[in-house]
């Protein structure tokens, strides 16, 4: 099935009987949907011509081709100019039925072809749109409106790659394959725009007149001439105002091109040229700033929205012209002068031209003295007087200067400029552009990232009973220009690459053959907790993406990338935000290679619903003296719900201050409780009550009188401690036991959380103090994770167990992990992480009596805990 209309840019049909093929070119064209010619063309067939094969650009040969447009035959170089194209080439290869590669772009120094490079390296090609329009019979554009219309395009580049039966999205932008468009501009020359320069000159003259009128109206002539009343023999001077800004204002607008604020248009009034930067028409649908090179497939650049946007920009451009003119007025006020002339019949002839800017900079020019005869002495006195009047003149001119540059003055000029501008420039140019773009839309269509695909059925997916479609043929053009697009009389494609594959052929790799599935464990979590997502049946040795979604299917948190192993499996922690609302949250695992997905439901429930409501409390040791500290371990409490721990006497009265602790996601907690120094000896109870009112638990605690011996046999309460609690495989752990029967032989054995032995046991004899100490080595090759140290007396009396962590890296060697730092291993945990994990082990394991029956729960919980620590390390 073909999923785009029109002939593909570089049709991959040269080897129709072979399993796969590839083709690429820098430029190709079609006439009435029949292939016409191609430049820098290469192709490959998987059986007869696998390649890699190359094609280099020959501009001279390309331009000499004769094409027929309508009833007229023309050389291609009469409507297309390829002279500015860079060193471009293509390469094609079809190495197997499921592997093919095609690329067009810059020819590198190493002989490779690449999409990377500076824009100018690609060079440009030009399409004479006006000539094409007239050859095609579209002749509504007269020379009086526009006498040049060129589309200048930066050469395109494209690359398509198929691997193991899958056509790749190589850059994650714009669909399959990847492309590049270097530049795209429309150059328009019009006598109307060129004539507008004369209007600008006229505007400058009108501004001069307005300034002269404004100064004359607001200058106090009598005060100015009165400054000279005290000079004997001097007549009252004549006062005139001259503004000579016209040429300066004209040059400010016409002297260099002006670009609109949105960078879409550049106008050069001195040459009559308007440049439309077509890349600025792009408004990426995803909000990115990639411009021409991050567009979705088959993006039409010129459509019915193009001219309104350009027309609006013309108005904005004229506003910019206004701003330039108004700014130039203030910058040119030194060309505005107040002129004083002293003349009479005695030969007195003194003139003084004062720039308006002298009012602010105090830079007064010298007066000119052309007096003769008897008037010469009087003139000298007058000149001396003039040289002393600077401050007084400044006081008179300053108000006028301030008025000219004030908002009021700006408004006067702006109204004047806008009035002339609208009638002389803006409206004519807007009227000019309207038919230009109407014709342009009729004559030419520009498509960026043009794609033509063919698909084939590839079986069913785990989430659908319908056959999935897999892309088997893909044709990509970076830039495609259609002439008379309604009939597609001709098409020019720049930067082309195409491949065709046979996913079901020899070599395997059919993307329809994978059968992804996903499970989560646990299937119920509370907000803030994590589950483990396990995928199977994905593309082996590839990548997948795991995403938690809310009940409406919206993404929750960041997507989680994961690598698949050689069997197509993976396992990754998936956290649930602490503020997540309750409900069913599907976890979706998508195969990055094929796009196939599988999902598993995850129930997010209140923390109080996570654990079976069977809270238990253990206090160790069970008998202590005032001032001693006991360890309080809770299990089966609501996860995330604060619990208040309180010591009480036999009458239920509180003893000491309460402690508040929050159970973790394993529904347990551990906290120290110190017996007050003034606590009365006797039977006491440690109680733990959740704050949400759900059932709690309690455990007895005997407070012994100071100086007494604990009741019972000191050798009947065995316990062991392992130091350090976190070690590497091959390291030694010191095991210390207390409370064992004196003289008994104890076997110390390492075990996994399923109860299987690890390495050889160690035997040790218990001393008279009911204790022992012995080293035991964690065997080389022991995988990272939690293991158990088990100590059992040979007389069958109770033994003891404690967990340790095997880590894949240095923990610093200290017993508590407190200063481990980041070693070279895979789990470079901080001391705080190790301490937290050890505490979590104690919570999960609890008393030795319940540990064995909960091994599977412990294993799953520690898988989650270890996953979280790995996440922290990777941040």
List pLDDT tens digits, range 503-537. Answer: 765 433 444 468 899 999 888 888 888 889 999 99
| Dist. CA 726–CA 735, nearest whole Å | 13
More confidently predicted of 109 and 250: 250
More confidently predicted of 583 and 813: 583
| Dist. CA 133–CA 440, nearest whole Å | 8
| pTM of the full structure | 0.49
Q: Evaluate whether 190 touches 362 at the Cβ level (below 8 Å).
A: no
Please provide the size of the chain in residues: 875
Residue 607 has pLDDT above 90, yes or no: no
| Dist. CA 759–CA 770, nearest whole Å | 26
Whose CA is closest to 53, among 94, 1, 107? 94
Residue 350 has pLDDT above 60, yes or no: yes
> What pLDDT, in 10s, does the model give residues 638-658?
877 899 999 999 999 999 999
> For 306-406, where are the alpha helices, taking DSSP H only?
306-331, 358-361, 376-387, 390-405
Residue 831 has pLDDT above 80, yes or no: no
| Dist. CA 574–CA 453, nearest whole Å | 36
Give residue 204's pLDDT: 81
Mean pLDDT, residues 622-637: 89
Distance of CA 152 to the CA centre of its chain: 30
Cβ neighbours of residue 288 closer than 8 Å, sequence gap 6 or more: 294
| Dist. CA 191–CA 148, nearest whole Å | 10
> What pLDDT, in 10s, does the model give residues 50-80?
989 988 776 555 556 666 665 667 666 667 7
Task: Return the exposure string of 259-289: e unless at least 16 CB atoms fall within 10 Å of the residue's CB, then b.
Answer: ebeeebbbbbbbebbbbbbbbbbbebeeeee
Helices 407-421 and 306-331 meet at what angle, rounded to 10?
130
Q: How confident is the model at residue 416 (pLDDT cuts 50, 70, 90)?
A: low
Residue 304 has pLDDT above 60, yes or no: yes
């Amino acid at each position: 099935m073909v999923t785009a209309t029109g002939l593909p840019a570089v049709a991959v049909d040269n080897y129709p009987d072979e399993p796969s093929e590839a083709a690429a070119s820098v430029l190709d064209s079609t006439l009435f949907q029949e292939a016409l010619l191609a430049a820098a063309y290469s192709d490959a067939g998987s059986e007869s011509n696998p390649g890699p094969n190359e094609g280099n650009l020959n501009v001279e040969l390309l331009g000499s081709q004769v094409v027929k447009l309508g009833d007229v035959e023309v050389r291609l170089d009469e409507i297309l100019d390829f002279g500015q194209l860079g060193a471009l080439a293509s390469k094609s290869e079809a190495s197997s039925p499921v592997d093919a590669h095609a690329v067009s772009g810059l020819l590198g120094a190493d002989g490779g072809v690449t999409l990377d490079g500076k824009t100018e390296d690609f060079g440009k090609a030009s399409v004479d749109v006006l000539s094409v329009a007239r050859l095609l019979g579209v002749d509504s554009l007269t020379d009086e409106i526009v006498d040049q219309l060129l589309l200048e395009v930066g050469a395109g580049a494209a690359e398509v790659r198929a691997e193991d039966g899958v056509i790749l999205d190589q850059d994650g932008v714009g669909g399959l394959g990847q492309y590049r468009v270097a530049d795209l501009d429309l150059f328009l020359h019009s006598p109307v725009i060129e004539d507008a320069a004369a209007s600008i000159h006229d505007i400058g003259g009108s501004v001069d007149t307005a300034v002269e009128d404004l100064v004359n109206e607001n200058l106090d002539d009598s005060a100015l001439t009165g400054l000279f009343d005290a000079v004997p023999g001097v007549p009252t001077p004549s006062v005139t105002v001259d503004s000579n800004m016209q040429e300066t204002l004209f040059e400010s607008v016409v002297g260099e091109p002006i670009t609109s604020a949105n960078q879409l248009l550049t106008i050069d009034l001195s040459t009559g040229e308007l440049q439309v930067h077509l890349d600025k028409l792009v408004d990426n649908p995803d909000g990115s700033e990639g411009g021409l090179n991050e567009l979705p497939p088959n993006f039409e650049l010129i459509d019915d929205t193009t001219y309104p946007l350009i027309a609006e920009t013309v108005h904005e451009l004229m506003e910019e012209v206004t701003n330039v003119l108004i700014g130039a007025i203030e910058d040119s006020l030194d060309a505005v002068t107040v002129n004083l002339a002293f003349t009479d019949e005695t030969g007195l002839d003194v003139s003084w031209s004062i720039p308006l800017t002298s009012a602010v900079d105090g830079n007064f020019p010298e007066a000119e003295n052309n007096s003769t005869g008897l008037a010469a002495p009087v003139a000298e006195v007058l000149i001396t007087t003039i040289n002393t009047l600077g401050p007084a003149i400044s006081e008179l001119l300053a108000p006028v200067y301030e008025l000219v540059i004030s908002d009021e003055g700006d408004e006067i000029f702006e109204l004047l400029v806008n009035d002339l501008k609208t009638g002389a420039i803006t409206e004519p140019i807007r009227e000019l552009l309207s038919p230009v773009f109407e014709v342009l839309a009729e004559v030419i269509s520009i498509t960026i990232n043009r794609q033509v695909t063919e698909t084939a059925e590839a079986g069913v997916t785990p989430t659908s009973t319908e056959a999935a479609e897999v892309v088997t043929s893909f044709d990509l053009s970076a830039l495609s220009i259609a002439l008379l697009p309604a009939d597609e009389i001709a098409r020019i494609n720049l930067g082309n690459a195409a491949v065709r594959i046979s996913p079901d052929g020899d070599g395997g790799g059919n993307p329809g053959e994978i059968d992804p599935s996903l499970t989560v464990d646990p299937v119920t979590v509370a907000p803030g907790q994590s589950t483990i997502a396990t995928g199977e049946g994905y593309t082996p040795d590839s990548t997948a993406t795991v995403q938690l979604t809310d009940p409406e299917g919206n993404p929750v948190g960041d997507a989680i990338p994961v690598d698949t192993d050689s069997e197509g499996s993976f396992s990754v922690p998936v956290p649930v935000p602490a503020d997540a609302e309750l409900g069913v949250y599907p976890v979706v695992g998508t195969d990055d290679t094929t796009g196939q997905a599988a999902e598993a439901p995850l129930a997010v429930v209140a923390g109080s619903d996570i654990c079976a409501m069977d809270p238990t409390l253990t206090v160790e040791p069970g008998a202590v003296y005032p001032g001693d500290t006991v360890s309080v371990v809770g299990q089966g409490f609501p996860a995330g719900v604060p619990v208040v721990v309180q010591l009480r006497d036999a009458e239920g009265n509180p003893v000491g201050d309460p402690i508040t602790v929050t159970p973790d996601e394993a529904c347990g907690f551990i906290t120290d409780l110190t017996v007050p120094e003034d606590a009365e000896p006797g039977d006491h109870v440690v109680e733990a009550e959740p704050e949400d009112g759900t059932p709690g638990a309690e455990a007895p605690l005997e407070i012994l009188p100071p100086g007494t011996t604990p009741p019972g046999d000191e050798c009947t309460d065995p316990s062991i401690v392992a130091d350090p609690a976190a070690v590497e495989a091959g390291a030694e752990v010191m095991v210390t036991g207390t409370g064992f029967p004196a003289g008994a032989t104890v076997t110390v054995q390492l075990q996994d959380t399923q109860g299987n032995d690890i390495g050889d046991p160690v035997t040790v004899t218990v001393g008279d103090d009911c204790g022992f100490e012995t080293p035991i080595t964690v065997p080389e090759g022991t995988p990272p994770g939690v293991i158990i140290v088990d100590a059992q007396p040979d007389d069958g009396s109770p033994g003891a167990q404690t967990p340790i962590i095997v880590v894949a890296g240095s923990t610093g060697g200290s017993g508590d992990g407190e200063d481990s730092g980041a070693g070279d291993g895979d789990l470079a945990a901080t001391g705080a992480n190790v301490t937290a994990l050890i505490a979590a082990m104690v919570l999960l394991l609890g008393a030795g009596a319940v540990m064995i029956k909960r091994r599977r729960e412990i294993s799953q919980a520690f898988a989650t805990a270890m996953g979280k620590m790995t996440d922290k390390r990777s941040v």
